[in-house]
Structures are given as structure tokens and as C-alpha cells.
Amino acid sequence: MMGITTAVAHAEEIGGLIVVTRVIFEDSQLVDHVICAETARPCIDFGASHITLRLNGFTITGPAQPDVATDANSCPTAQPALADGIRIQNQTHARILGPGMVQSFRRHGIFVVGAAGVSTNLTVRHVTSHQNCFSGMLMTGVTDSVFEDNVSVRNASNSGGSPCGGSCIVNSHDNRIRRNHFAGNGSVGPPSNDFGVGLVGNSSGNIIEDNSIGGNINGVLIQANATGNVIRRNVIAGNPPSQISRTSGPAIGFDIKDESPVVGSGDRNTIERNWCITYSGPGAAPCPNFPGPGPTDNKQ
């Protein structure tokens, strides 16, 4: 049995097989590995605000088999609604705390929906998302939240036209994405819009800092309407991996890809002190950049 953290008083205990969605209304913790047989709805759903789910070193495994193309549970080509590992919808002050892993779900490993006009105040920490068909974590309409010290690897294995990857930040504002590791996320194919971290829609005011982002189709993807974000002190290199560049062409992805069509839009987002090599986008390129002990600031 894997290491278990100190037990939480009065916490609901979860483990073993989950056949239908498990809705939690109080602080909860895993006491064993979870196998989720639910194929069309979330495995675990937060039914209240101000509650914590502790993974305690265990794994939550869904029904998808991304590496088996002919299997009945292989990744679908279009996003199946609700088929996520953990869902937090219209709740505030929720926490998902590892160590632990969420893997093999037919859509997203973790799916968070914020309520309009309400500060979300979500925390996700020390969680590994692995081999989910679309994003490791997708947040939409989320504000004032922290996603830190997590690992997102080999997600978005069949995302098609959907922009997906390690952490997909959609129409979300004033969040902090820091000290995470994003590797091997994304699948090859037009429009080559998968990523380690993606600022999608009109996401603004987010801080992406001190992350390691390598081996993804794109390291950081910035969509055209994403403004006012800060991307700093990250190692963003090796995106995509060399074998992908050899087989699909060097323009399949970049360390930083800015999709803005506006030349001279250098004040849209702040990109500073990153260790990066390749860039696609308008204006002065912030990569290649190899900052030393002093600040090297670029705007894009």
C-alpha cells in the first residue's frame, strides 16, 4: 500500500470500484486506489463548497485506454460531455490535495467550472494527471485559484480540433499556475493547438511562473483574445520533442506560440525571464532567451 497522510477527522472514505458518480458533500479522502467504471459522467463530483478531497498517495483510474486505438474505450474524437475524473462545478474554496494521480478518463482528468461573478478560490496541489484523453485539467470561468506543484503528462492523446493539454485555462482570470511539470502533452494533427499550458478564450490576469514545460506539442499556447497574463521564470524548451519535429515538420509546434494575428501587439501579455528557444507569433520574439542572474524582460 502506498503512503497515506494523517487521517482527516470525520472525512468520508473513498476506495475501490465506483460504478456511478460519487458525489461528495464533506471533506473526503481516498483510502485505496479507485477504479471508475462510469463512462458518461464524472467519477467524483463536488456537491458543496469549502470541502477538501485528499488523494493520500492513491490513484483514480478511469475507463479510457488512450494507447489502444481499436479498443471500445479508446479516446473518442469529440469531447464526451461530463466524462471527467473529478468535477468541481459552481463551488468555491474547494481543494484537491495529493500526492496522488488522476488518469485514463475519456475527457479531462480534472474539470472545474467557476460561477459567474463569484471568486472560485480553488486549490489543486501535488496531483499527477496522466493519459487523459483531452486535458489533464481544464478550468473555465475560474478566478483567484492556485494550481501548483502538480505533474501533467501524456494528456490530450486524441484531442482533434480542441485545444487541449496539461492545463487548459479557458475564459479564466487572476489564477496562479506555478511550480508544475508539464511533459508529453498533446497529439499531432491540424491545427496543432495542443500544449503544456494553454491560455484559451479571453483568459486574463493569470500568472504562469516557475514551471517546467517540455516535450509537449506547444509549450505555452496563447490564443488571440488572451491578454494581461504574465509568463515568467519558466523553463519552456523541447516543445515539440525532436521525433515529432522530424516526422511532422519543424512548424508543428513551438516553445511559445502566440496566435494573435496583430503585428505589434507587444503589450498584450508579459513574457519575461523564461528559458526558451522557439517562438511563433507577432512582434519581437521573446525566444530564444537564456536569462542569467539578472532580469531579461520581453513583452509580447
User: Which one is predicted more confidently, 37 or 294?
Assistant: 37
| Average pLDDT rounded to a whole number, residues 277-286 | 92
Closest CA to 140 of 174, 101, 173, 114: 114
| Average pLDDT rounded to a whole number, residues 254-268 | 80
Domains for the chain: give ranges and CATH numbers: 12-65+81-299 (2.160.20)
Q: Which three cell numbers stand for residue 22?
A: 460519487
User: Which one is predicted more confidently, 4 or 61?
Assistant: 61
User: Which one is predicted more confidently, 263 or 131?
Assistant: 131
CA distance 147 to 181: 11
pTM: 0.92
CA distance 109 to 93: 19
Neighbour order of strands in the sheet with 137-140: 22-24, 44-46, 86-89, 110-113, 137-140, 165-170, 195-200, 220-222, 256-258, 279-280
Helix and strand counts by DSSP (H, E) for the chain: 1, 27
Q: Is residue 203 over pLDDT 50?
A: yes
pLDDT tens-digit profile of 101-141? Answer: 999 999 999 999 999 999 999 999 999 999 999 999 999 99
Closest CA to 252 of 179, 300, 160, 189: 189
CA distance 91 to 118: 9
Q: Is residue 193 over pLDDT 80?
A: yes
User: Which one is predicted more confidently, 3 or 91?
Assistant: 91
76 pLDDT band, cuts 50/70/90, is: confident
> What pLDDT shows up at residue 229?
96
CA distance 58 to 44: 14
Say whether 207 sits in a helix, a strand or coil: strand
> What pLDDT shows up at residue 66?
84
DSSP state of 154: S
Integer-rounded Cα Rg, in Å, for the chain is 19
> What count of other Cβ atoms lies within 10 Å of the Cβ of residue 21?
17
Q: Is residue 5 over pLDDT 90?
A: no
> What pLDDT shows up at residue 183?
98
4 pLDDT band, cuts 50/70/90, is: very low
Q: Is residue 61 over pLDDT 60?
A: yes
Neighbour-count burial for 37-68, b at 16+ CB within 10 Å, e otherwise: ebeeebbbbbeeeebbbbbbbbbbbbbbbbee
Q: Is residue 53 over pLDDT 70?
A: yes
Q: Is residue 296 over pLDDT 60?
A: no
| Average pLDDT rounded to a whole number, residues 88-108 | 97
Q: Is residue 86 over pLDDT 60?
A: yes
Q: Which three cell numbers stand for residue 77?
A: 474524437
Asked if 288 and 277 count as a contact pair (C-beta separation under 8 A), the reply is yes
8 pLDDT band, cuts 50/70/90, is: very low
> What pLDDT shows up at residue 3?
37
User: Which one is predicted more confidently, 247 or 142?
Assistant: 142
Q: Which three cell numbers stand for residue 248?
A: 511532422
| Average pLDDT rounded to a whole number, residues 65-82 | 77
Closest CA to 255 of 222, 206, 291: 222
DSSP state of 282: S
